[in-house]
Amino acid sequence: MDEHLPDDGNLKLSDYDSVHLEYYKRYPYIIYQLHCYIRKGFDMKAINDSEFESEVLKSKGLVLVDFWAEWCGPCRQLGPILEEVGKEYGEKVKICKMNVDEAPATAASYEIRSIPTMFLFKDGEKIDTKVGFNSQSAIETWLNSHM
């Protein structure tokens, strides 16, 4: 098992054919995330500046947007927590991730100064913000207060 991957007991190098092995070696975290997505059946959508309006502002119901960056340790710790929250809440809350390095216009327009920053939107309107790392229970309490 690659030292960069958490060992959840499910991901094995033998699961990948030789064509994909090179991608696994180059991008272990991305491959692991893809594996988790397929295994769990949860869609935590990565969006960019051009998708923000359609995926967040025009969405009905609750949308949690996580502003993060690959180089941010607390952001990477928050990722698996948001996956668990997404599994638990299902279609009650849509979760989107915006990499601030890849979506600088949206991050700038919302004046993101620290990451991770989570915005909660309801029917396209921003209703709340959380800055910094939060536990799963804190995020669930936050979401429940807006349902």
Per domain, the residue ranges of the chain are: 10-41, 45-144
Q: How many CB atoms lie within 10 A of CB 94?
A: 20
pLDDT at 7: 47
> Which tens digit of pLDDT belongs to each residue from 94-140?
999 999 999 999 999 999 999 999 999 999 999 999 999 999 999 99
The pLDDT of 23-40, averaged and rounded, is: 57
Would the pLDDT of 10 be above 80? no
The pLDDT of 34-60, averaged and rounded, is: 78
Tokens of 140: 């669930």
Q: How many CB atoms lie within 10 A of CB 118?
A: 22
Tokens of 15: 């699961």
pLDDT at 52: 96
Catalytic residue among 31, 63, 75, 78: 75
* Of 14, 9, 11, the residue nearest 34 (C-alpha): 11
Active-site residue, 72 included: yes
Would the pLDDT of 40 be above 50? no
Residue 45: strand, helix, or coil: strand
HSE-up (13 A, CA, CB side) for residue 141:
6
User: Tokens 């991008």, residue?
Assistant: 27
pLDDT at 44: 81
Active-site residue, 96 included: no
pLDDT band, residue 15 (cuts 50/70/90): very low
pLDDT at 139: 97
Share of the chain above pLDDT 70, in %: 71
pLDDT band, residue 48 (cuts 50/70/90): very high
The backbone torsions φ and ψ at residue 7, rounded to the nearest 5 degrees and listed phi first, read -95, 100
Catalytic residue among 44, 63, 72, 93: 72
| Residues 86 and 45: beta-carbon distance below 8 Å | no
Average pLDDT, the chain: 82
The pLDDT of 19-43, averaged and rounded, is: 56
CATH architecture designation of domain 45-144: 3-Layer(aba) Sandwich (3.40)
- pTM summary value: 0.71
